[in-house]
A = this chain, B = another copy of it.
Amino acid sequence: MSRGFIEQLKFDEKGLIPAIIQDEKTQQVLMLAYMNRESLLKTLESGYTWFYSRSRQCLWMKGETSGNVQRVKNIAYDCDQDSLLITVDQEGAACHTGHYSCFYRDWDGTLVSPRLFDPEEVYPRR
């Protein structure tokens, strides 16, 4: 993918832009995460999603620990050039809780996305 479109984007005062991640096949929205310029470049170069963690203040590759990587299929940006929509081929589950989508709970508490793995078995204890 060409990097040219990055010049069109408006990163916020912290240098971040929100990225909506959507499953290309099912069209299910999987997560919302933040990218800075560097993580977007790494995403373009590698073909896998990289984000910026606001809590840990570092770059992270989705699935680096769990193996649940996201292969990038397409990137679109919105009218205000301040958010991204990235369609992916999701390996395993997107959410660190083991659910397929991070949006697994409805407003009334209904579980709407299945749990595909037990995080205790996937992530090392810290």
Verify if A77 is at the interface (C-beta below 8 Å from B): yes
Report whether A31 and B105 are in contact in the complex, using a CB–CB cutoff of 8 Å: no
Closest to A80 in B: B102
- Complex interface bits, A61-99 against B, C-beta within 8 A gives 1, otherwise 0: 000000000000011111110010100000000011101
- In the complex, how many residues of chain A place their beta carbon closer than 8 angstroms to a beta carbon of chain B? 34
Report whether A107 and B2 are in contact in the complex, using a CB–CB cutoff of 8 Å: yes
Instruction: Give the complex CA separation of A29 and B88 in angstroms.
Output: 14
Q: Classify the secondary structure of A's interface with B.
A: loop
Contact check: which of B18, B26, B79, B108 meets A97 at CB < 8 Å?
Answer: B79
Verify if A22 is at the interface (C-beta below 8 Å from B): yes
Please judge, given known A-B contacts A18-B18, A97-B79, whether A106 and B74 are in contact too, CB under 8 Å: yes
A contact residues vs B (CB 8 Å cutoff): 1-2, 5, 18, 20, 22, 26-29, 31-32, 74-80, 83, 85, 95-97, 99, 102-109, 112
29 intermolecular pairs with C-beta atoms under 8 Å apart: A2-B107, A2-B108, A5-B107, A5-B108, A18-B18, A20-B20, A20-B29, A20-B32, A27-B27, A27-B28, A31-B78, A32-B83, A74-B106, A74-B107, A75-B106, A75-B107, A76-B103, A76-B104, A76-B107, A77-B103, A77-B105, A78-B95, A78-B103, A79-B95, A79-B96, A79-B97, A79-B99, A79-B102, A80-B102
